[in-house]
Chains A and B, each alone.
Chain A
């Protein structure tokens, strides 16, 4: 077993040591003189914003990219691998941010594909079950991957690595697709893996996660190491200074001035579930006033997708009375938009934007309410100017309005989509997961723009799984759990504990008053 080798090697020999690693692409220095050291059984964070060079560095360690300079020592031996296959043979495994599982195969088959030799599924399933139990993973080997949630798929990815007894496990932004409970579970699993002697490199831009999990951290900014720290002892301020060169940005939150009448009224909305994993809504009533931000907390899959679809107009069967700006809610999504409703969906590529279309064309998608289409003809010059203005106003990193939506990083695309909707000056704005996978600086910017829009008189509804985010920006928060909406909780009374109790279905209105 690998744990024995590790004790023999002693604490002096690091599992992995990087010396002066450099990698330059035409026009960009991705990594510059990076050195770091990871001890056996250590959980080491690589902390940095998007574009800090984290991914390049990991690909160098994993053998997918060759460095221009520097050397890599693995268990004290100089490493000269040049493919992921060689890295895997040495016990280096990587879990990418985007999973590489096959949907139409079972969990066991997916794992079998990564193991050499003949396929003995019955035997393998037993081994998978054993390994899963050892690390507290909850995976049924006979299930089809297509039926698994994101959290479960990640467990399969990790399990797939564990089946090969890794000595170094690299995880790239593993929590970007996970619900809060799943994050806790992941950390428990990772701690168990590290106890077994396997080193873990944990790539993230989330300070709280790194502080909760990691024993040491190397902070990158602009391709260079800006500092190393023990994240359990270092303050969030110190880490933020290393990571973004300043303090964590704080949003300004002026008091809300509410409109007299609600701009959006929902009464007794019940709806069918969407898709196989959907949840039916039961009897939801909601008032949204101009000038306020209302949050919908809860884990995806509890009716979030269904409620958002009913409000945006994607779900066409309405079993409810809804009013928009004092008028009965029109059935069609385009009619709602013409009245002043805007919607930023959770899924950016495919629903928020068309991946293969340019930013100009993506502007037209919702810009029809602002005169980008006249007499059935597209006004391209105006659309281009509008896209350019959004790119500038929201500091979107894109070459030009002619860039394809699919060429933008997740955070940049989110800024663009939000900018596109805000440019319409909506009276009612619905935003789902505004800052998923977006780095710290951009998140603060997005949150501030949402607050600004509400303070201009718009009614804003935010769906989010991140409770801190909702508590930061919302005036009132509802919890949507199992298709039912809790009473709204004012910002001042919102605590993670209280919201969490509603999320698990244990909350009751009395607890609100007795809570400190």
Chain B
């Protein structure tokens, strides 16, 4: 029992950074922009947050700083993709590589000193309840915040007029422009939101999940978040399912290694990636797939051109 509770708790914290990044990217891609640079934005966010934390600014400032750093790095991408109409795939890949390098540079002086990681939220007696205490009330505030973002993004995209406009900009920027909506401003806002979410995801990794600086600490989570978006058919709730699944397998394989399963550790480490892809491919076999994809995804658009 103890073990399963530990696995569940670990799953949620492992899923949190993925979910944050994926939710941000859902909004970006729904507006018709493909930002492949999540990995880079996460790393920049992680490095800046870690730097703020070891410099004594405190954890709230570290999270805000990480989000801002992600936002600023996505502004770079926005300039390339929206202003200069550059190819979005190439710009995004460039951002991923740039972020990897920049974060390594920022992190050069960090050495191996640890930071005090984010503590679980103090919920008084609730956390002491048997079973449901450790299962539901033993997480840090970022986990709850991230879980709350899922319905928030879903509600925004499907229930509000702003969300509808954003989705329609992603389907046909020409039509949206013809009706009189500012396509580029809407896309810029979406890109910045996605950047902030990725930066926040990186900050969570460095100052809540790991606690010491490791170069390239995202270890491909940015790319997993990217594929989660596609396999989740651009739906927030499915992104949650995918993130939890990936987090679960990450923790399971760790315990598998500890218990000494007769499998090479490399094979076990690959398990979360494999399982996520298989399950998400299986659930995304629907008939109306065509309508899920934002029709103008990755297509540059300039009003009046």
Contact = CB atoms under 8 A, between A and B. Distances in A.
Interface of A: 84-85, 100-105, 109, 112-114, 118-119, 144, 146
Given A109-B164, A112-B164, A113-B168, A85 B180 contact: yes
14 contacts: A84-B180, A100-B174, A101-B175, A102-B168, A102-B171, A103-B291, A104-B171, A104-B295, A113-B161, A113-B164, A113-B165, A113-B168, A113-B179, A146-B291
Nearest to B165: A113
Interface string B261-305: 000000000000000000000000000000100010000000000
Which of B168, B172, B174, B291 has the largest number of chain A CB atoms within 10 A? B168
Contact of B167 (A101, A105, A144, A146): A105
A109 B175 CA distance: 14
A85 B181 CA distance: 11
A104 B291 contact: yes
A303 to B, nearest CB: 22
Given A101-B175, A104-B291, 5 more contacts: A100-B178, A103-B295, A109-B164, A112-B164, A114-B179
Contacts of A103: 171, 291, 295
Contacts of A144: 291
User: Interface size for chain B: under 10, 10 to 19, 20 to 34, or 35 or more residues?
Assistant: 10 to 19
Contacts of A109: 164
Contacts of B87: none
B167 A104 contact: yes
B167 to A, nearest CB: 7
Contacts of B164: 105, 109, 112-113, 119
B70 to A, nearest CB: 29
Contacts of A113: 161, 164-165, 168, 179
Nearest to B170: A104
Contacts of A100: 172, 174-175, 178-179
A410 B167 CA distance: 30
Contacts of B175: 100-102
Nearest to A83: B180
Contacts of B165: 113
Contacts of B167: 104-105
Contacts of A114: 179
Contacts of A105: 164, 167-168, 171
Interface string B147-172: 00000000000001100110110011
Contact of B161 (A84, A101, A118): A118
Contacts of B178: 84, 100
Closest 4 CB pairs of A and B: A119-B161, A100-B175, A102-B168, A85-B180
A103 B294 CA distance: 11
A251 to B, nearest CB: 39
A46 to B, nearest CB: 21
Contacts of B172: 100, 102
A144 B180 CA distance: 22
A102 B295 CA distance: 10
B171 A112 contact: no
B71 to A, nearest CB: 28
A104 B174 CA distance: 15
A116 B161 CA distance: 10
B201 to A, nearest CB: 28
A214 B164 CA distance: 38
A101 B175 CA distance: 7
A86 to B, nearest CB: 11
Nearest to A99: B175
A119 B166 CA distance: 14
Contacts of B179: 100, 113-114
Contacts of A119: 160-161, 164
A315 B57 CA distance: 67
A102 B168 CA distance: 7
Q: Which of A103, A104, A112, A119 has the most CB of B within 10 A?
A: A104
Contacts of B160: 119
A104 B161 CA distance: 14
Residue from B164, B174, B295 whose CB has the most chain A CB atoms within 10 Å: B164
Interface in B166-199: 167-168, 171-172, 174-175, 178-180
